Amino acid sequence: MSANVQEAANAAIEPASFVKVPMPEPPSSLQQLINDWQLIKHREGGYFKETDRSPYTMEVEKPVNGGSGNTEMVTRNQSTLIYYLLTPDSPIGKFHKNINRIIHILQRGKGQYVLVYPDGQVKSFKVGFDYKNGEVSQWVVPGGVFKASFLLPNEEFDNGFLISEVVVPGFDFEDHTFLKGEDELKHLVGPEKAAELAFLA
Examine the pLDDT at 2 and tell me if it is beyond 90.
Answer: no
Residue type, 109: G
The reported pTM is 0.94
Examine the pLDDT at 31 and tell me if it is beyond 80.
Answer: yes
State the total domains in the chain: 1
**pLDDT band for position 1 (cuts 50, 70, 90):** very low
Per-residue pLDDT tens digits for 115-146:
999 999 999 999 999 999 999 999 999 999 99
Examine the pLDDT at 64 and tell me if it is beyond 90.
Answer: no
User: Which domain, by its residues, includes 104?
Assistant: 3-62+71-198
Examine the pLDDT at 7 and tell me if it is beyond 60.
Answer: yes
> Which residues face 150 on adjacent strands?
92, 112
CATH code for the domain of 81: 2.60.120.10
